[in-house]
Amino acid sequence: MEPMTNVDFPVFCRKLGFHSGVGNLSNKIWVLWKNSISGHVLNDNEQSIDLQFSSSLFPSSFYTSLIYAKSTRVDRRDLWNELRSFAAHSLALPWLVGGFEGCILGVHSNHAPMLFQAFLTTSKPPAAFRVKQKLKLWNRNIFGSIFSNLKQTEDNVQRAETEYDSNPTTNNRANLHHAIAQLVLATKVEEDYWHQKSSCKWVVEGERNTHYFHNLVRKKRIRARIHSISDNGVTLTYDSDIQRSCVTFFSKYLSNDTPTDDLVCHFPFPQIPENTDTNVLYASPSEEEIKQVVFSINPDSAAGPDGFYSHFYQSCWEIIHQDVVLVVQEFFEGAYSS
């Protein structure tokens, strides 16, 4: 901000919702902060001001240099020298630099104030998020890229065959057998990948027809695609028109102007008998109940939002069951209600 006038900082702080503030030497830079943060001036210059801030919201204290640079290169020499000097002696802590430098960068600036916000987060991420991240890391480190691995194993087999043909020794034959075994494994992994993608549940065990799986995946995508919709009696077929119509409809439907009656299902719900123990409805499911549900799902059913199929959870239950149970129980306790 550039008020270019004598200011009463306590008055402006109260009006803007802050508790403390300072201005630099030329009064072109204002720095305001709330009482949860402690700040003091280190250097006060014509084109910049250096401060140190500390708070329980931050892992450590940090420095900040706020700039209002002059418009000519000659006039900015002092600014660069001041920043170099500060950087040489004050980089023991993190350093935040910002402000109006449009004349330096050659870009347009609207002189708007900058607002920095800090929040203290003590809660750990939900268990579902932690499990998903760990599974992604495990998948990347163990399996890597399925198709790159398959191409690599094919090249290894060709190389091993060439070496064995030119020099048929026992060692080269063993290398060839090992390369072939790795190719068989990579092929099985690719088969399983496309099998899962196609959600095909009746393929015979060991059947390796990836072209068939490709066709199933392609047909699924075609069925899931919206080719046309009717909007007020007009049939829309272009993707851009369909997208615009959907956005308009749901924006209106989910707005505050939507009548409440339109969001209510007009059919009777079954009533709970009076002698029912309703506490059971609120109780967290046991580990055995969760396991029964997991193992009742078809192993080849479509994957969930995390990308993992039921077969994965069933096969690795002994390894991941504690995390899965924790996620489900946290859900029933309201951890994901917000």
What number is the average pLDDT over the span 199-214? 51
What number is the average pLDDT over the span 171-181? 88
Unique residue bearing structure tokens 């392609």: 218
Could you give the CA distance from residue 15 to residue 4 in angstroms, rounded to a whole number?
A: 18
Q: Is the dihedral of CA 227, 230, 236, 240 positive or negative?
A: negative
Residue of higher predicted confidence among 13 and 314? 314
- Residue 280 pLDDT: 73
- Residue 253 pLDDT: 75
Q: Are 160 and 168 in contact (CB under 8 A)?
A: no
Q: Which residues pair with 230 in a beta bridge?
A: 235
Residue of higher predicted confidence among 194 and 229? 229
- Tokens representing 242 are 């369909």
- Residue 202 pLDDT: 45
Residue of higher predicted confidence among 148 and 7? 148
pLDDT band at 2 (very low <50, low <70, confident <90, very high): very low
Number of Cβ within 10 Å of residue 19's Cβ equals 13
pLDDT band at 92 (very low <50, low <70, confident <90, very high): confident
- Residue 292 pLDDT: 92
- Residue 206 pLDDT: 45
- Residue 191 pLDDT: 72
- Residue 318 pLDDT: 92
Residue of higher predicted confidence among 242 and 7? 242
Residue of higher predicted confidence among 265 and 100? 100
- Tokens representing 287 are 């580990």
**3-state secondary structure at position 52:** strand
Range of weakest confidence among 77-86, 217-226, 239-248: 217-226
Decide if pLDDT at 106 tops 80: no
**3-state secondary structure at position 319:** helix
Decide if pLDDT at 116 tops 60: yes
- Residue 58 pLDDT: 79
